[in-house]
Amino acid sequence: MPTSPLPTITDPAAVSADQTRIGYRTVGTGPSLVLIQGAMGTCENFTELADLLSDSFTVILPDRRGRGLSPRPFEPGHQAARDIEDLAAILNATGATDIFGLSTGALLALEAARTLPNIRRVAAFEPPIYLDGLPTELITRFHHDTTHDDLPAMLITAMKLTGLAPRPIELIPRLLLEAAMRLVLRREARAKPGRYASTAELARALPYDIAVVEQLQDITRYSAINAEVLLLGAEHSPPYMRAALNALANTLPTAQRIELAGVGHGAAWNTDRSGNPHTVAPALRHFFNPAQPN
């Protein structure tokens, strides 16, 4: 059963170099550990994982720019370096030196470990690196959808780009998929706000994720990382993600590599978001504090 929102969470904020307010939450006691979400989520998606770790860590849950506690409209020409400045502001505000990143958050975690000297350990869960090259047709289509502010089209294109859409969706004509997504957005707009960010809000943050993916693909850049690295994968994730982790393991020969059985790409999320954080927490606990029992 999913847990209720954590009652001990507080909502401070850090200010990034361009004055963007980066909101975050904290829970627990012990060494600080920052959890960085990927696309289509906010820090709220990590509350169960944070709860599982909170007896051993002060878990810091920032919202990346463009969503949740860190609202900022996307601007064309966005650079992933701004996201690294956001993370640096969080680290400076909290004194944290350990970070976990999921998906595009994993790309940012690796890039932060490469460029920020105060990061000691980083766990990266399936950074979306396309060893055979980015799907340029889908990237071009996504930019077209964004220019026209077509949220249903943006969502469908992003699903196809990541390879995370259920297999039957690939058999449904795109126009029908977009029509169905349009109905979902209309239904959400009429409903009372819930615990999680709306699909529309998360769709408007997707250009940040696509920019990160486009700019942080060169796997050789990560050979400069001096921090300890844990590379996490999931049994049921797309093959290109497994290939990327294998390539990263070759690039970072001292990195630990773990594959979690029976789960997929969103394993770190709450159970009511199709996650299974109980499979992720022991690996993080052992990596970030090996003296603690799993």
CA distances to 130, 228, 243, 250 from 253, in Å: 20, 11, 15, 5
The CA distance from 170 to 166, in Å, is: 8
Give residue 1's pLDDT: 39
Banded model confidence at residue 290, pLDDT cuts 50, 70, 90? low
Domain count, the chain: 2
Question: Is residue 5, in this structure, part of any structural domain at all?
Answer: no
Give the N- to C-terminal CA distance of the chain in Å, as an integer: 21
pTM: predicted TM-score of the whole model, two decimal places:
0.94
Give residue 200's pLDDT: 97
| Whether residue 120 sits in one domain with residue 171 | no
How many alpha carbons fall within 13 Å on the CB side of residue 33?
A: 30
Calculate the dihedral angle through the C-alpha atoms of 100, 22, 107, 167, rounding to the nearest 10 degrees: 90
Banded model confidence at residue 170, pLDDT cuts 50, 70, 90? confident
Quickly tell me which residue has 């819930």 as its tokens: 194
What letters, b where the CB count within 10 A reaches 16 and e where it falls short, cover 121-132? bbbbbbbbbeee
The CA distance from 272 to 121, in Å, is: 29
- Domain at 19, CATH number: 3.40.50.1820
Complete DSSP assignment for 10-35: B--EEE-TT--EEEEEEESSSSEEEE
Question: Is residue 7, in this structure, part of any structural domain at all?
Answer: no
Question: Is residue 80, in this structure, part of any structural domain at all?
Answer: yes
| Whether residue 126 sits in one domain with residue 154 | no
| Whether residue 162 sits in one domain with residue 90 | no
* C-alpha closest to that of 260 among 240, 244, 276: 276
Q: Tell me the pLDDT of the chain averaged across its residues.
A: 94
Per-residue pLDDT of 3-29, as tens digits, reads: 444 434 457 899 999 999 999 999 999
Pick from 152, 180, 211: which residue ends a domain? 211
The CA distance from 168 to 24, in Å, is: 37
Pairing between strand 121-125 and 58-62? unpaired
Pick from 144, 176, 211: which residue ends a domain? 211
| Whether residue 25 sits in one domain with residue 77 | yes
Per-residue pLDDT of 228-252, as tens digits, reads: 999 999 999 999 999 999 999 999 9
* Domain range for 145: 136-211
The CA distance from 258 to 96, in Å, is: 24
| Whether residue 128 sits in one domain with residue 17 | yes
* C-alpha closest to that of 177 among 166, 191, 188, 187: 166
| Whether residue 227 sits in one domain with residue 110 | yes
Pick from 190, 211, 232: which residue ends a domain? 211
pLDDT reading at 165 higher than 60? yes
